[in-house]
Homo-oligomer: A and B are copies of this chain.
Amino acid sequence: MPEKTITELIDRCRATGLRRTKALEQLLITLLEHARPMTLNELAQSVRLTDQCDKATVFRLLQRLTTIGITRRLGLHERAAYFTLLLPGRHQDYLICTECGSIEPIKAPCPVHHLEEEIREKTGYKNLYHELEFFGICPACA
């Protein structure tokens, strides 16, 4: 299954004109393996990418991937930006500890879809999506 997903992702990239480079491949695999938002630094230092390519390369790749909708850039309150894969039909909300910074995907279904529809209709915004995060102090830190 991951095999298939990787191939699909690369195909989607190539369809938009990106070249199939080692850096792109390893970046996508890294994002897929971790399945959680990661910072540029984390990504560039991850095993698959260290000694594989420069941080600037990862940065530019993430930029392009975000433009074509393969990844998304998240805020999450840290000074550094987070990036996550945007897999079709797999929206995620997060629970974040403000002390230790742990990021936990929320299992419950997202209760925002209806409001999102309403906003789309009433405001005329295009390409609408949302980001929902819960912040608090996790039991371990409390």
Contact = CB atoms under 8 A, between A and B. Distances in A.
25 contacts: A73-B77, A74-B77, A75-B76, A95-B119, A95-B123, A108-B118, A108-B119, A111-B115, A112-B132, A123-B138, A123-B139, A124-B138, A124-B139, A125-B138, A126-B136, A127-B135, A127-B137, A128-B134, A129-B134, A129-B136, A130-B132, A130-B133, A130-B135, A131-B131, A131-B132
A116 interface: yes
Nearest to A141: B126
A1 interface: no
A115 B114 CA distance: 14
A128 B96 CA distance: 10
Contact of A134 (B108, B116, B134, B142): B116
Majority DSSP secondary structure for residues of A touching B: mixed
Interface residues of A, number: 36
Given A73-B77, A75-B76, A129 B137 contact: no
A132 B120 CA distance: 15
